[in-house]
Amino acid sequence: MLAALALLVAALGAGWAWTPDLDRATLEARYLAAPGDMRDVAGTRLHVRDSGPRDAPAVVLLHGFGASLHTWEPWAQVLQGEFRVVRFDLPGSGLSPPDPQGDYRDARSLAVLGALLDQLGIAQAALIGNSMGGRIAWEFAARQPERVSALVLVSPDGFASPGFAYGKQPHTPAYLQLMRWALPQALLRQSLVPAYANPAVMTDALAARYHDLLRAPGAREAMLQRMEQTVLEDPVPWLQRIHAPSLLLWGEQDAMIPFRNSADYVKALPGAQLVALPGIGHLPQEEDPAASVLPVQAFLRAHLRPAR
């Protein structure tokens, strides 16, 4: 997605496409629900939304690369009637400022997640993660199994793919660096459309939200650093350690992480249940939230004790 956008920007010329940051006051006026949603956690500042009954089982939603907690809003509106629903922007994403440590490795993301759970008084939670967020979710479940009551992986990342080999730091092409200065909304929108089986899902409002939040101060630099610092490990030994009830949710028309990759997870993840979503792409929570949340809701009801 980002590579295709960068190529377009390079072709058009960075000078024509210059895109400055938006100031935080403007972004918070548009996307911050309440001042208390900004929290200091593990030495960084996080944008967090915490809704639903406090005494209900906790469910934590982890967004993917380049996204924000807003991707989960339709699901959260459904789930918060029965569960405590926590979603947050990873450092350098959405309204969460860049990590002062400049550390975007998975180990740091796991530490931030654990510290947030501690601060919220959540001893154990169900984790739901999409794409990169799915990788963080299953890594946490493998390393801290006592803290994970159930696991939902939505088109998760983690297995090697072109440009991402195990044990190797990926090379960030020079043209991709143009993102720091050039990010026209029309080109961003064009790069996002393949994430959906139905291109009409990419509305003006959705495109504007993605564009605005990627123009948060330091967000593009943080995104590039996260790419550069992502070093994949063979996921199979880690997945085999997971004993939490697990659900795999995958759009059959996923053009970002193909549906066929689900077979790798089913093979490695003990007892995982796979739900295929016909006619859906990489972001079912945005493309068809009403239909895609139903198997998640049923799974959580089966393995947790929701509030009634």
Residue-number span of the structural domain to which 71 is assigned: 2-302
Q: What percent of the chain has pLDDT over 90?
A: 82
Residues 6 or more apart whose Cβ sits within 8 Å of residue 206: 286
The number of domains in the chain is 1
pLDDT tens-digit readout, 244-294 = 999 999 999 999 999 999 999 999 998 899 999 999 999 999 999 999 999
pLDDT tens-digit readout, 29-83 = 999 999 999 999 999 999 999 999 999 999 999 999 999 999 999 999 999 999 9
CB–CB of 84/57 below 8 Å? yes
In a domain, 307, yes or no: no
In a domain, 266, yes or no: yes
Closest among 284, 283, 282 to 255, alpha carbons compared: 282
Residue 9 has pLDDT above 80, yes or no: no
Q: Supply the pTM of this predicted model.
A: 0.93
In a domain, 98, yes or no: yes
In a domain, 262, yes or no: yes
In a domain, 147, yes or no: yes
Say which CATH number the domain at 79 has. Answer: 3.40.50.1820
